[in-house]
Amino acid sequence: MLYQIYEAQRSLMEPFAEFANAASKLFGNPASPLGQNPFAQRVAAGYDLLYRLGKDYEKPVFGLQTVTVGGVDVAIHERVEVNKPFCELRRFKRFTDDGGTLATLKGQPAVLIVAPLSGHYATLLRDTVKSMLGGHKVYITDWKNARTVPLSDGEFHLDDYVNCVQEFIRHLQSVYGDCHVMSVCQPTVPVLAAVSLMASRGERLPLSMTMMGGPIDARKSPTAVNNLAMHKSFEWFENNVIYRVPQTFPGAGRRVYPGFLQHAGFVAMNPDHHAKSHYDYFEHLLQGDDVGAESHRKFYDEYNAVLDMDADYYLETIATVFQDFKLVNGTWQVRNAKGVSELVRPQDIQGCALLTVEGELDDISGSGQTAAAHGLCSGIAADQREHFEVKGAGHYGIFSGRRWREGVYPKVRDFILAHNHSAKPSTPRGGAVARTATTRAAAKKTSAA
């Protein structure tokens, strides 16, 4: 019933939020009779804050229109390349009339960015995508809100996530011959599983994996997030945080971990910080600081927009990653697209370079959790592996903001370029025949990258 109660409360608050928005504009407009009194600006700021605290936050857009490549502005066309029930593979295709720039674009590596499915939308990586577009052909996994997926589309399991990543890797390989994969936070685990299974079968692998701030081994330097998942039983999660989607949504009846619960958890991790941030926003409005106020709006428009996760996927992630530690214990069995279980063996990965990135002050994925991938991927040569710790960076700082743009992105860019050459398919166990990459003809025929 909690989901239904939440929705009823939200619907009840919606007209009050709209009233606060209208009142803020009336008191904030000097031409309005209400804007003439000496307290008008303070009243307007108060109503504006009430509106933002009470409004419903919808899925944001990436909104990337252009990117600069070699001093030339290049147009970006965002489109869905593969549409699956729970995920879209979104491409940011670049167009230019400049011949030299076009040649540069075509020669740049293709990168699949696997965004986290952990409560926020893929637009949380907007800054990541924007930076990567300057030197790469960029694709991203855009996970759908489970409450919008009808029951007729079936369930979504952690195994389906792994299979989905493999399908997207093969798609990029079919277009470009080779690709690189980059995972941020939660997807480091399923991405490592996906590449491991491809290696065990002898398939062509991505040329490199970049893994950033993820719980490969959540036992190392456990954070508050890890401790909750570790110390509560599986049954506790199933009985206390799983609810059915109300009838007002396309996914009515689907069992989900609601986004509003995840958001409450995010805020509860640092309530004083959020309270101060909202008070600062109120002060910005009083002082007429449009830049500071707009910065607050942009952050919370993203931060407050959350999605529901399918219950099977969520519960299996809790059990696999944070309770049974199946990846590091070598006991993780994944059902492939044909329904056959396969053992995840990271030690089978060869010819795929590995870069791990951690933030010194990360309070979500603790120190050493991502770097643990190096111990698991023993088949990757030493000269193909690197680890980078970002000094002074928290979790979000490793993929967004100044530290990402000035410190992390150049490292990622150079690592990808250093390993942007075709690698031999790994030797599979059991003598299976390696997959061959398909032609690059499709990429050569287009005038865009």
Average pLDDT over residues 304-311: 96
Instruction: For residue range 200-248, list pLDDT tens digits in order.
Output: 999 999 999 999 999 999 999 988 888 888 989 999 999 999 999 999 9
Q: What's the CATH number of domain 66-237+309-426, 3.40.50.2300, 3.40.50.1820, 3.30.450.270, 3.40.50.300?
A: 3.40.50.1820
Q: Map residue 342 onto helix, strand or coil.
A: strand
Q: What pTM was estimated for this model as a whole?
A: 0.90
CB under 8 Å to 201, separation ≥6 — which residues? 428, 432, 435
Q: Where are the domains of the chain?
A: 1-56, 66-237+309-426
Predicted confidence at residue 148, as pLDDT, reads: 97
Q: Can you list the alpha helix ranges (DSSP code H) found in 177-324?
A: 188-201, 224-231, 234-240, 259-269, 271-287, 290-303, 311-317
**CB 428 within 8 Å of CB 348:** yes
Q: Span 157-185, mean pLDDT?
A: 97
Mean pLDDT of 360-380: 95
As a dihedral over the C-alpha atoms of residue 342, residue 343, residue 348, residue 352, rounded to 10 degrees, the angle is: 70
Among residues 147, 399, 381, the alpha carbon closest in space to that of 251 is found at 147
- The total of other beta-carbon atoms located within 10 Å of residue 210's CB is 26
Q: Is the pLDDT of residue 293 over 50?
A: yes
Residue 37 is predicted with a pLDDT of 83
CA 50 to chain centroid: 29
For residue range 111-134, what is the model confidence (pLDDT) as tens digits?
999 999 999 999 999 999 999 999
pLDDT higher than 60, residue 387: yes
Backbone angles phi, psi at 320, to 5 degrees: -70, -45
341-343 and 385-390 strand pairing: unpaired
Residue range 93-114, pLDDT digits in tens: 999 999 999 999 999 999 999 9
Q: State how far the Cα of 173 lies from the Cα of 175, in Å rounded to an integer.
A: 5
The arithmetic mean of pLDDT across residues 133-140, rounded, is: 97
pLDDT confidence tier of residue 422, bands split at 50, 70 and 90: low
**Which band of pLDDT confidence, cut at 50, 70 and 90, is reported for residue 42?**
very high
Average pLDDT over the chain, rounded to an integer: 91
Determine which of 42-56, 59-73, 415-429 has the lowest per-residue pLDDT on average.
Answer: 415-429
Contact, 161 vs 316, CB < 8 A? no
Burial of residue 114 (CB within 10 Å: 0-12, 13-18, 19+) is buried
The rounded Cα 126 to chain-centroid distance in angstroms is: 9
Under DSSP, is residue 344 helix (H, G, I), strand (E, B) or coil? Answer: coil
